[in-house]
Structures are given as structure tokens and as C-alpha cells.
Amino acid sequence: MKIRFSHYYQKFWLKEAMIEDGDVVELVGVSVCDREQLPKSFLHFDSNYGSEGEPEYFPLPAGRVIVLFFWDGDDLFSTIRRWTPQKEEYYRNGIGKLFEVKIEEHKTGN
């Protein structure tokens, strides 16, 4: 199974073990909610792919979303995805399974 990201997000290198393209992580939780229910600070943390001094935020979907929680062996990280019934079923069936991290962007550093 694979989990794709379009950028190297700040959340990947704020943790003890940096998340890199090709790493394998375990899906440990799935939560469905309305994006508006999530704190703004969490939305900014989850979607920031800019530098510390110049944040850039990936546009998150409005309405219902899926929040996924992955464990890399040292740390927990999240990602917010657009909700569909099919995606919810796919990810719920993936709890406890390993996912390969695929990052489309070339790393430019922090």
C-alpha cells in the first residue's frame, strides 16, 4: 500500500525521525470529521510545506475530511484527505497495515 504526498511537509522534519520518500509507516488511526471542526493550528501544522520563516499551505478540502494517523516507529504524524465513502473504507481496512511513503516533490531542505 502507498500513501502519496505532493510536498515535503514541515511535519515530516519536526519529528524525532525524519519522514523521507520510500519510508514505510503503519496506519494506526482513521478519523472522519468536518474540516471546520479541526483547530486552525492543526490545519496549518498539517498542510505547511514552506520554510519556518515563509510558510506555504497546501489547500485542504472543505467539508468532510479523513484524518489519517501514521506511526513511523518513533513518532506519530497525521495527514488530512478529502473524504469519500470509498476512501474511508480503504483506509479503515488499512489500519494496522504498512504504507510506503511516496513524496512527489524533490526535497529542497528546511
Q: Is 19 within the bounds of a domain?
A: yes
pLDDT for res 62 = 94
Q: Is 110 within the bounds of a domain?
A: no
pLDDT tens-place string over residues 65-109 = 999 999 988 888 999 999 999 999 999 999 999 999 999 875 444
pLDDT tens-place string over residues 21-77 = 999 999 999 999 999 999 999 999 999 999 878 999 999 999 999 999 999 888 889
Q: Is 108 within the bounds of a domain?
A: no
Q: Is 75 within the bounds of a domain?
A: yes
Domain that holds residue 18: 2-103
Q: Is 9 within the bounds of a domain?
A: yes
Q: Is 30 within the bounds of a domain?
A: yes
Give the chain's domain count: 1
Q: Is 70 within the bounds of a domain?
A: yes
Q: Are 96 and 68 in contact (CB under 8 A)?
A: no
Write out the H or E segment, with its range, that includes residue 4. strand 2-5
